[in-house]
Amino acid sequence: MSKNKDVAVHKTKMKLSTGDKIFNTVNILIMAFICIVIVYPLYYVVIASMTDPVIVNSGRVLFYPVKPYFEGYKTTLSYMPLWTSYKNTIVYTLVGTLVSLVATIPAGYALSRKDLVGRRGLIFVFTFTMFFSGGIIPLYLTIRNLGIYNSIWAMVLPVAVSAYNLIVCRSFFESGIPDELLEASKVDGCSDFGFFFKIAIPLSSTIIAVMALFYATAMWNQFFNALMYLQDDSRMPLQVVLRNLVLMNQANQMGSSGDAMITKQKLAEQLKYCIVVVSAAPLLMVYPFVQKYFAKGVTIGAVKG
Amino acid sequence: MKQKKSGMFKYYLKEAAKCWQLYVLLIPALLWAIIFAYYPMYGVIIAFKDYKIRQGILGSPWASPLFKYFTEFFSTSIAVNAIKNTIVISLESLVIAFPIPVIFALLLNQVRSKRATKAIQTISYAPYFMSNVVVVSLISVFFSANGVVNGIITSTGNKEVLFTSVPEWFRTLFIGTNIWQTMGFNAVIFIAALTAISPDYYEAATIDGASRFQRVLYIDVPMIMPTVILMLILQVGNIMNVGYEKAYLMQNGSNTIVSELISTYVYKVGLQTAQYSFATAVGLFNSVANFIILVIANKVAKKVSDISIF
């Protein structure tokens, strides 16, 4: 049977009509165009970060580093505020992801249980937060009143739970853990805690990975909240420092004070590229290995809106 | 009747008591919801008060007239402009950016080599992992006067374009880079819907002599329509919250006329000049308008296609 199918498929592959051929060619061209548009800017930034800024500033289209010039990286790597913010971002991301997981995974499990009294109401309590909020100012005042303004908790707690992630999580537990398993362990006298910690958690490494990834990416990229809820320069995350250096043009203050004006100016342009590379690199290097979890998360979420 | 009701209540209480451990598992998330979602919702009443930090939310006197801050907002030209900008940029995003991931998913599904499909997909969502700050930084270096885009323009003999500072280019850059950032990621859900289509349909269509393009049009498109509509409702439901973080980052003195959105305005008057009540009123207007649009979109979708989110 399957052999027959193979033959059939093979035949249709051989007999491509002219229309299909055109369709395929156009399709391949479109895909190639998309890939270039996505990859080239990223590639260009890397090249520009190590090419003589005079050439970069001439606006030439580059395919490889023309006149290597590494002063930018030297200055970037020795610029302490950047590394302080790097450390902050790493700490915020680690702590934030952990807090988010502790809040989201158990709640997602509880909401997946059909015997939870008041389940529909509780789900609504969370989904409603997706579509309506008090707005920027009331949240800001709440944070001030709680006394967590200008601390790591102002970065971590307000974004600890995302209703969307919670729903994805619930959908996973609903479809991923068979009801029979629960019934069987209940017969054996297993409590809800026991079932969650000893049976559900070990079965849910996928959803934990997905959630960790969703939350960690969001934390790493957080910018606006830092701007609103943090005050000290020493606590700012990478994104804020990146914005100050590249978008507010503070990069020209980075070089050592002994440098001549010309060198400084030359350097400032290259520094922008270096800083962008240094701050975007970690996520871009990790993502090919974790992206399948990302796709999985979106797909699980799509099962139930 | 009354007895029956109290009996029901007792029954529920008993059932709830049985699963008390599940409620314990919900505590952290519920605490978050109460403190960081619902308490601020209660806090919106300062939009109707003359809020003073020392007097607190309850202690501050009511504004007189009650809607003082709303009328104040609507009477400024900045407000009208911010509302207009928000709506225009949202609608443009919806019309231009929404269909692109759908089309991309349909086309990617037609790529015949499995390995190529996977590779293209992986590449396509690389930009999703970059922050808005990185993306706006990229815009600022690529589209600057001596950036590579202007390099190409001047090499063809044209005059350079000041993309980042002229208001005319703001929306194009904003929406264009949005597509770049989110196309691959937004397509994931449609690709998943496409792979769920049974191959029997294609076989039958092929036997009937349908071309590839016809198969896409008459099998794929109708099959993923429910997913498309669902995503459309969700997108419409966030229409007033379009990427204000990115708009704020792209803002500069010369493009505020088009780049000032309601949310960026709230941030500025609220946190930079500490007019809390006024800014809360503006924010509340935004949230309510957004919510009303969502409810309407949901109703329309339910009527037209039987698909809804609640």
Q: Do B137 and A42 touch (CB under 8 A)?
A: no
Gap from B58 CA to chain A (nearest CA, Å)? 13
Q: Using one digit for the tens of pLDDT, what is the confidence trace for B71-113?
A: 988 888 888 899 999 999 999 998 999 999 999 999 999 998 8
Residue B268 has pLDDT above 50, yes or no: yes
Q: Over range B2-25, report the average pLDDT.
A: 82
What confidence score (pLDDT) does residue A161 get?
96
Chain B positions touching A228 (Cβ under 8 A) are 267, 271
**CA nearest neighbour of A223 among B262, B33, B134, B226:** B134
Segment among A57-66, B143-152, B293-302 with least mean pLDDT = A57-66
Chain B positions touching A280 (Cβ under 8 A) are 130-131, 134
**CA nearest neighbour of B50 among B73, B71, B68, B72:** B68
Query: What's the number of CA atoms in the CB half-sphere (13 Å) around residue B171?
Result: 18
Please tell me the total count of domains within chain A. Answer: 1
Binning pLDDT at 50, 70 and 90, where does residue A159 land? very high
B12 close to B21: Cβ distance less than 8 angstroms? no
Q: Do B110 and A131 touch (CB under 8 A)?
A: no
What confidence score (pLDDT) does residue B81 get?
92
**CA nearest neighbour of B60 among B277, B274, B279:** B277
CATH number at residue A121: 1.10.3720.10
Chain A positions touching B213 (Cβ under 8 A) are 19-20, 23
Please give the residue of chain A at the shortest CA–CA distance from B149. Answer: A59
**Residue that the structure tokens 């309601």 belong to:** B262
Q: Do A302 and B283 touch (CB under 8 A)?
A: no
Instruction: Output the average pLDDT for chain A.
Output: 86
Q: Using one digit for the tens of pLDDT, what is the confidence trace for A231-242?
A: 999 999 999 999
**Domain residue ranges in chain B:** 79-305
**Facing A125 at nearest CB: one of B33, B276, B283:** B33
Binning pLDDT at 50, 70 and 90, where does residue A304 land? very low
B154 in reach of chain A (CB within 8 A): yes
A138 close to B44: Cβ distance less than 8 angstroms? yes
Q: Do B287 and A135 touch (CB under 8 A)?
A: yes
> Is the predicted ipTM greater than 0.90, yes or no?
no
Q: Examine residue A8 and state whether it is found in any structural domain, yes or no.
A: no
Q: Do B111 and A247 touch (CB under 8 A)?
A: no
What confidence score (pLDDT) does residue B109 get?
93
Choose the mutation target among A56, A76, A137 for the interface with B, i.e. most B CBs under 10 Å: A137
What confidence score (pLDDT) does residue B54 get?
82
B101 in reach of chain A (CB within 8 A): no
The amino acid at B258: V
Copy the structure tokens of residue A13.
């592959």
∠B299-B266-A150 over CA atoms, to 5°? 115
Copy the structure tokens of residue B201.
């349909």
Residue B33 has pLDDT above 90, yes or no: yes
Gap from A259 CA to chain B (nearest CA, Å)? 23
Segment among A48-57, A144-153, B125-134, B247-256 with least mean pLDDT = A48-57
Rounded distance between C-alpha atoms, residue B309 and residue A38, angstroms: 33
Residue A2 has pLDDT above 60, yes or no: no
Binning pLDDT at 50, 70 and 90, where does residue A251 land? low
Rounded distance between C-alpha atoms, residue A305 and residue B231, angstroms: 9
What confidence score (pLDDT) does residue B234 get?
81
Residue B240 has pLDDT above 90, yes or no: no
Binning pLDDT at 50, 70 and 90, where does residue B2 land? low
Q: Examine residue A205 and state whether it is found in any structural domain, yes or no.
A: yes
B117 in reach of chain A (CB within 8 A): no
Q: Give me the DSSP letters along A78-101.
A: T-HHHHHHHHHHHHHHHHHHHHHH
Torsional sign, CA A130, A131, A136, A137: negative
Residue B181 has pLDDT above 70, yes or no: yes
Instruction: Output the average pLDDT for chain B.
Output: 89
Q: Do A20 and B211 touch (CB under 8 A)?
A: yes
B79-305 carries CATH number 1.10.3720.10: yes
DSSP-based three-state secondary structure for B52:
coil
Q: Examine residue A13 and state whether it is found in any structural domain, yes or no.
A: no
Chain B positions touching A38 (Cβ under 8 A) are 123-124, 126-127, 180, 184
Binning pLDDT at 50, 70 and 90, where does residue A38 land? very high
Among B residues 236-255, those touching chain A with beta carbons less than 8 Å apart: 237, 244-245, 248-249
Range of the domain at A98: 71-305
> Exposed, middle or buried, A67 (CB in 10 Å: 0-12/13-18/19+)?
exposed
What confidence score (pLDDT) does residue A303 get?
53
Among A residues 229-248, those touching chain B with beta carbons less than 8 Å apart: 239-240, 242-243, 246-247
Rounded distance between C-alpha atoms, residue A115 and residue A192, angstroms: 11
Q: Examine residue A40 and state whether it is found in any structural domain, yes or no.
A: no
What confidence score (pLDDT) does residue A15 get?
62
Segment among A63-67, A277-281, B49-53 with least mean pLDDT = A63-67
Q: Examine residue A37 and state whether it is found in any structural domain, yes or no.
A: no
Q: Over range A34-48, report the average pLDDT.
A: 93
Q: Over range B200-229, report the average pLDDT.
A: 89
Q: Using one digit for the tens of pLDDT, what is the confidence trace for A71-113?
A: 889 888 888 889 999 999 999 999 999 999 999 999 999 999 9
Neighbours of A102 (CB within 10 A): 13
Q: Examine residue A126 and state whether it is found in any structural domain, yes or no.
A: yes
